[in-house]
Amino acid sequence: MTAEPARSASDPTPASLTAVEDLVESSIKMILDHQAGTGAYPASPTFSAYAGYCWFRDGSFIADAMSAVGHPESAEAFFDWCARIIEAREGQIRDIVALALAGTPAPDADMLPTRYTFAEEEGSEEWWDFQLDGYGMWLWALGEHRRRYQTDLTRWSRAIGLIVEYLCSSWRRPCFDWWEEFAEHTHVSTLGSIAAGLSSIATADVLPEELVSTARQSVEEIMGLIGSEGVHAGHLTKWIGSEEVDASLLALIAPMSVIEAGSTVAVATVREIENRITDGNGVYRYAADTYYGGGQWPLLSCFLGLAHASAGHHGRAREILDWAATTAGADGSLPEQVDWRLLAPEHFAPWVERWGKPADPLLWSHAMFLRLAAELRLVRQLTTPSHSEDAE
C-alpha cells in the first residue's frame, strides 16, 4: 500500500454525511426515474445529442453502480436490454467473426454500433459508432453483478457467447475511444475494458470450455500488449505508442481492477494523471481536450477516487467525492462537466452554439458518484446480496 496523499490547508471541508447520503438517494432516484421501460439508461434525458439513446459504455457503469447500491433489478433490466440487442444481431456478429478469422476484417461501418435507441434500434444520425469498449464493459458488469448476488447468468448466455466471440476476433482493431475520437489508434483504456470483460466472464461458469480458453488467451495477449507498448515512463498511456495520459485509464485500476491498485504502473498512472490533467480535485479527460472548452468531469474525479480507495487512500477518496458533490445543481443533478477551469475556453461557445449547454444531468455522473460512495460505505441502508437467482 502506498502512502496516502496529505490533505492541504486549502482543501475543502468534507461534506456532511447527511449531504452525501442525500445526494446518493437523489442519484438513485434520478437513475430509476429515467430508466426506460425497456431497461435502457438514457445517457442524458435532455441533452440534444444524447437524448433518446443509451450507450453500452455509460449503461454498463450505471448498471454496476445500481447493482452496488442494492438495486439489482435495475441492473438486470439493462442487461436484458443489451442481450436483446445482441441476439437480434447474431447473424451480423457471426459474419464479423468469420471475416476476421479469414483475415478479411469487416469494414468499420459494419461493426456493432456504440449506442442504440431505447427501442433497441440503431440511430439514424451519423455518429462515431465503431467502439469496442462498451461490449467489454457489459461483460465486466455482468461478472461483477454475479459476484455480488451469486446470480445465475444463464439467461444472458447466448448474448454473452456472441460478444466474447466478437471481442476475441476484433480486439486488435483500432477504433474510436471512450470520447468517440481518434479512430486511427488502439486505445489502452479500450484494450483494458475488453480484458476486464473477458477475464470476468471467463470465470462465470456460463461459457463452453473452448470459448473460456479463447477468452483467456485473448486476455493474456491484450495484457501483454498493454505491458509492452501501452506504458511509457512507468505509466499507462492514452493509446499504443503515445506518451500522453487519459483519465479513462483510471477505470482499469478501479473499478475494473485490470491493473492492481498497488502496482508500480497504477501508482505511476495515478500520479501522472494528478500532475498533468487534474486541477484541485477536478479531472480533465486529457491535456489537449477542447470539447466544450475542455472542462472537468465529475465522473472522472470519481474514477480517481475509486483508484485511491482501492489503494487504501480513503481520506483522499472522500475528498474527491466531496468535490464531485459540489458540482451538483440545486436540484441534485450532476453534469457531464463543469466550466470552472477550462483548458481551452475559446472552444466553449462554439459547442454551445452547436449542441446547447453541456449535458446536465448525465446519468453516468450520478452512477460514478454512487459507485464511489458505495466503495466508501456512505450509502444508507446498503442492501446485502439476497437477490433471487430466478428473478425475471
Q: Which residues does residue 239 pair with via DSSP β-bridges, in sequence order?
A: 187
Q: Is 144 a catalytic residue?
A: no
* Residue 366 identity (one-letter amino acid): H
| CA 72 distance to own-chain centroid | 18
For residues 222 and 316, what is the distance between their CA atoms, to the nearest angstrom? 31
Q: Which residues does residue 122 pair with via DSSP β-bridges, in sequence order?
A: 116
Q: Please tell me which residue in 144, 180, 246, 272 is annotated as part of the active site.
A: 180
The grid coordinates listed for 137 are 464493459
Q: Per DSSP, which regions of 243-344 are E strands?
A: 278-279, 282-283
Q: Is 180 a catalytic residue?
A: yes
For residues 180 and 166, what is the distance between their CA atoms, to the nearest angstrom? 20
Q: Is 336 a catalytic residue?
A: yes
CB 50 within 8 A of CB 43: yes
SS3 371: helix
Tell me if the bond preceding 358 is cis, omega within 30° of 0: no
The DSSP symbol for 216 reads H
Q: Please tell me which residue in 177, 272, 319, 322 is annotated as part of the active site.
A: 177
Q: Please tell me which residue in 165, 272, 319, 336 is annotated as part of the active site.
A: 336
Please give the positions annotated as active site. 177, 180, 336
